[in-house]
Amino acid sequence: MKKVMNNVLLGIAVLYVISLTVVTPYYNWQYAKEHGFVKWILFGEIVATVKSTVWPYYAFSSGSTSPDSPDERHYDNSKKACDEALKIIIKTGDVTRLSAVDKTKVTELLELSLLEANQVKPSYLTKVHPQFLEMYEKNYKVAINMMITGFQTDNIQLVLGGSYGYNEFTVWMQKHAKDLSF
| Domain boundary assignment for the chain | 1-60, 71-182
Chain-centre distance of CA 159, in angstroms? 16
Contact 145, 162 (CB under 8 A): yes
Question: In the predicted model, is pLDDT for residue 63 greater than 50?
Answer: no
Structure confidence at residue 65 (pLDDT): 45
Structure confidence at residue 46 (pLDDT): 73
Structure confidence at residue 44 (pLDDT): 66
Question: In the predicted model, is pLDDT for residue 129 greater than 80?
Answer: yes
Structure confidence at residue 8 (pLDDT): 67
Structure confidence at residue 152 (pLDDT): 95
Question: In the predicted model, is pLDDT for residue 118 greater than 90?
Answer: yes
Structure confidence at residue 43 (pLDDT): 65
How does DSSP assign 38-88, residue by residue? HHIIIIIHHHHHHHHHTHHHHHHS---SPPSSHHHHHHHHHHHHHHHHHHH
Q: Which amino acid, residue 134?
A: E
Structure confidence at residue 81 (pLDDT): 93
- Crossing angle of helices 156-175 and 142-153, rounded to 10°: 160
Kindly state the average pLDDT of the residues 23-49: 72
Percent of the chain with pLDDT over 90: 46
Return the higher-pLDDT residue of 63 and 68: 68
Kindly state the average pLDDT of the residues 124-143: 95
Which of 66, 89, 60 lies closest to 166, judged by CA? 89
SS3 content of the chain, % helix, strand, coil (to 5): 85, 0, 15
Question: Dmax over Cα atoms in the chain, in whole Å?
Answer: 59
Structure confidence at residue 59 (pLDDT): 65
Kindly state the average pLDDT of the residues 123-143: 95
Report pTM: 0.65
C-alpha–C-alpha distance, residues 125 and 119, integer Å:
11
Question: In the predicted model, is pLDDT for residue 76 greater than 60?
Answer: yes
Question: In the predicted model, is pLDDT for residue 102 greater than 90?
Answer: yes
